[in-house]
């Protein structure tokens, strides 16, 4: 603010509208600083790394490679119902409970960590793409790798396909776990072949998706699965800054009779400690105790570690970002500000309509037009997708996040919400839950029964986007 000759409060306001809470004494990362400077109409020039070496920036930061340390991958298990997601999560966990360790008793806190070859892997305990995408719809991405479970006796099923789409939309790499390999009728090769149709190409089929044959029942292949996850993680070069105030995500929260409001958080950077004051969404906590997935009290938790936090004043929501702040007063100030913002927003109404999207896109200069398309028959869906693809120019193009046959479901709405997309129904309607969710999240659903009308509307919207304003 000083160097731009702007008021500090204006800088903080912009940070807050972006959901980042900062105070005048906080250090923000260079990317954020750049965005803010641009937002305020200034020109930014990045200085060299030597400034860092000279100690001008001695606060730990993602921008200083020396501060970065490898971190454990965070994994979500997805797949069709009854293909063995829960069994696999349980089997992996049990295999890793060292006998004698807290009597072998494990604690379900929403995520757990296991060790393989001295390296940690973090598993989110709520399987399925719904939780994953619900988080993403709130702007939170916890997952680094998706393990897609496909039962070898059943093959690719509707929710397998949905999971693939959701993982792809989030650009999270997939590892295929071909489960129930112990069953005599299992056919792993058939699974690999079926996956081809959904653009998941495993290595033996000439692609680069890793696959492992497993059995949650006999525990065959579990080590190999963990090793494969670590291999994939190595490709991703996952790193985080373990120093400094903790930040991360709430992955589960509840009101516990004996213990009050508790939340499980996943630390993403920095280190969370007992005694810290943290803000999560509209709630805050003075951390009274931290409990790990083995039910043990711990003093601190670093990047990629899930811990249960005791000491919340209220129950935060899964998907809320949390950050440690310097004191109570700040925590109150931030949560009150957010509560007010929410009240104002709910009074003011929804988010994505075709027109609002145009305005937003214009402002951001991104000429991608995200759409979710659902239709009654494959033929018309293909025709619509082909026509929309043709509309694209160098400056703007339709980005079809998902296209498929069938009614509009909740899952479609969550995906649209995560990607800021509009939903188009061709000769299909949205079910009641989907309608409710869409109106709650302010997602526009448009219905058509003539392809020409549909394409024409999108075209008009896109040309509106291109109309020169200068």
Residues at the interface with ligand GDP (CB under 6 A):
79, 81-87, 127, 179-180, 182-183, 215-217
Q: Among residues 78 and 454, whose Cβ is nearest to ligand GDP?
A: 78
> Any known ligand binding at 128?
yes
Distance of CA 164 to the CA centre of its chain: 15
352-364 as b/e: b if 16+ CB within 10 A: beeeebbeebeee
Conformational region of residue 104, where left means phi above 0, alpha means psi within -120 to 50, and beta covers everything else = left
Contacts of 332 (CB under 8 A, 6+ apart): 284
The least CB distance from residue 275 to ligand GDP, in Å, is 38
Contact between residue 155 and residue 191 where contact means Cβ atoms under 8 Å apart: yes
> Any known ligand binding at 41?
no
> Any known ligand binding at 81?
yes
Q: Among residues 88 and 301, whose Cβ is nearest to ligand GDP?
A: 88
Contacts of 362 (CB under 8 A, 6+ apart): 465, 469
The least CB distance from residue 211 to ligand GDP, in Å, is 15
Q: Among residues 18 and 87, whose Cβ is nearest to ligand GDP?
A: 87
Distance between first and last Cα of the chain: 29
> Any known ligand binding at 348?
no
Q: Among residues 160 and 323, whose Cβ is nearest to ligand GDP?
A: 160
The least CB distance from residue 78 to ligand GDP, in Å, is 9
> Any known ligand binding at 129?
yes
Q: Among residues 220 and 378, whose Cβ is nearest to ligand GDP?
A: 220
Contact between residue 241 and residue 269 where contact means Cβ atoms under 8 Å apart: yes
The least CB distance from residue 220 to ligand GDP, in Å, is 8
Q: Among residues 219 and 459, whose Cβ is nearest to ligand GDP?
A: 219
Contact between residue 89 and residue 127 where contact means Cβ atoms under 8 Å apart: yes
Please state, in angstroms and rounded to a whole number, the distance separating the CA atoms of residues 264 and 134: 17
The least CB distance from residue 214 to ligand GDP, in Å, is 7
Closest residue by Cα to residue 245 from 267, 217, 215: 267
Q: Among residues 84 and 173, whose Cβ is nearest to ligand GDP?
A: 84
> Any known ligand binding at 181?
yes
> Any known ligand binding at 23?
no
Please state, in angstroms and rounded to a whole number, the distance separating the CA atoms of residues 301 and 272: 5
The least CB distance from residue 111 to ligand GDP, in Å, is 16
> Any known ligand binding at 175?
no
> Any known ligand binding at 248?
no
377-to-3, 160, 198, 406 alpha-carbon distances in Å: 59, 20, 18, 8
The least CB distance from residue 221 to ligand GDP, in Å, is 9
- DSSP assigned state of 377: S
Annotated binding-site members for GTP: 79-86, 125-129, 179-182
Annotated binding-site members: 79-86, 125-129, 179-182
């Amino acid at each position: 603010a000083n160097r731009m000759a702007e008021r500090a409060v204006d800088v903080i306001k912009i940070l807050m509208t972006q959901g980042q809470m900062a105070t005048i004494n906080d250090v923000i990362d260079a990317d954020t600083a750049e965005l803010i400077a641009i937002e305020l109409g200034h020109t930014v020039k990045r200085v060299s790394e030597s400034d860092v070496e000279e100690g001008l920036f001695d606060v730990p930061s993602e921008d200083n490679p020396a501060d970065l340390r490898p971190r454990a991958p965070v994994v979500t298990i997805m797949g069709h119902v009854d293909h063995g997601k829960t069994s696999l999560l349980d089997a992996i966990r049990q295999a890793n409970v060292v006998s004698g360790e807290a009597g072998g008793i494990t604690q379900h806190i929403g995520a757990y960590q296991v060790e393989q070859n001295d390296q940690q892997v973090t598993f989110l305990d709520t399987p399925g793409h719904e939780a994953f995408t619900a988080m993403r719809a709130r702007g939170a991405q916890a997952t680094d790798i998706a393990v897609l479970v496909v039962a070898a006796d059943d093959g690719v099923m509707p929710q397998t396909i949905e999971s693939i789409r959701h993982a792809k939309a989030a650009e999270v790499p997939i590892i295929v776990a071909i489960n129930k390999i112990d069953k005599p009728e299992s056919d792993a090769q058939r699974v690999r072949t079926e996956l081809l149709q959904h653009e998941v190409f495993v290595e033996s089929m000439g692609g680069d998706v890793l696959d492992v044959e497993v059995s949650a029942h006999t525990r065959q292949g579990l080590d190999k699965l963990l090793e494969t996850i670590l291999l994939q993680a190595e490709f991703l070069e996952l790193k985080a800054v373990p120093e400094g105030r903790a930040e991360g995500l709430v992955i589960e929260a509840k009101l516990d009779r004996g213990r009050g409001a508790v939340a499980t958080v996943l630390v993403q950077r920095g280190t969370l400690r007992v005694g810290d004051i943290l803000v999560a969404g509209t709630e805050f906590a003075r951390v009274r105790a931290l409990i790990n997935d083995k039910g043990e009290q711990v003093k601190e938790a670093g990047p990629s570690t899930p811990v249960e936090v005791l000491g919340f004043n209220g129950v935060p929501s899964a998907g809320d970002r949390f950050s440690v702040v310097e004191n109570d007063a700040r925590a109150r100030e931030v949560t009150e500000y957010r509560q007010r913002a929410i009240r104002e927003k709910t009074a003011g109404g929804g988010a994505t309509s075709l027109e609002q999207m145009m305005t937003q896109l214009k402002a951001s200069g991104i000429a991608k037009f995200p759409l979710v398309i659902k239709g009654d028959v494959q033929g018309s869906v293909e025709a619509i997708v082909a026509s929309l693809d043709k509309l694209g120019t160098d400056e703007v193009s339709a980005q079809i996040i998902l296209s498929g046959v069938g009614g509009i479901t909740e899952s479609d709405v969550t995906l649209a919400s995560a990607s800021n997309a509009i939903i188009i129904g061709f000769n299909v309607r949205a079910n009641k839950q989907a309608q409710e969710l869409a109106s709650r999240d302010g997602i526009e659903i448009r219905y058509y029964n003539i392809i020409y009308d549909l394409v024409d509307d999108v075209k008009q919207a896109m040309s509106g986007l291109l109309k020169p304003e200068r």
